[in-house]
Amino acid sequence: MTRKLRSLELAMKNLQGLGGYKSVSFKDICMFLGVNLSPVFKMPKFEKYDGHGDLVAYLSRYCNQLRGAGRKEELLMAYFRESLSGLASEWFVNQDIDKWISWDDLANEFMQQFQYNVELIRDEKSLTSKSSIEVLKLGEMIEEGIKTGRIVSFATLNGTTQAIQKGSGIVGEKKNEEDASAIVVG
């Protein structure tokens, strides 16, 4: 009920034109006002996530670091901000924390935001199994696509890479180049 009231207050401020900056009052920036820690709870030192690297491994380490919190989702959510830096921290600060009801809500949205890291790691592993010549040809194709304007986004680049990888295994073949062009342009 309190969260809904805070959300309504914020909406009213925005309608009145007072939402130009975020409130920094304790009640507005503290995720769980009513959560009290056990006297024996010792705050762990978090490995910081900056928006790069293996996201699943990071979330797993984060949850393991808070084992002493008694499996309380509120604590996982409340201390999550402390484990972030750089782009990830900036992303978190710009979120409406009231929308996250559970740890799963927060973790799933975080995964969606930084999913590209999981895709990049998968693509890196598939590229390491290719020969140097194949990787060089792939790089040349991507560079040419960027120069000519056929590749304009990460999603397109990812689609191009997948199309090439599904080909006969030789990146430089004409068939693969045509498949990649069809995805980029068409």
pLDDT digits 0-9 by tens, 46-55: 788 888 777 8
Place of tokens 């304009």: 152
Taking the C-alpha atoms of residue 85 and residue 91, their distance in angstroms, rounded to an integer, is 10
**Closest Cα to residue 112, out of 128, 124, 100, 126?**
100
pLDDT band for 15, please (50, 70, 90 cuts).
Answer: low
- Dig out the tokens for 136 from the structure: 């060089």
Question: Tell me: the pLDDT tens digits for 171-180?
Answer: 444 444 444 4
Question: Tell me: the pLDDT tens digits for 152-174?
Answer: 555 555 666 666 666 544 444 44
- Dig out the tokens for 112 from the structure: 């969606």
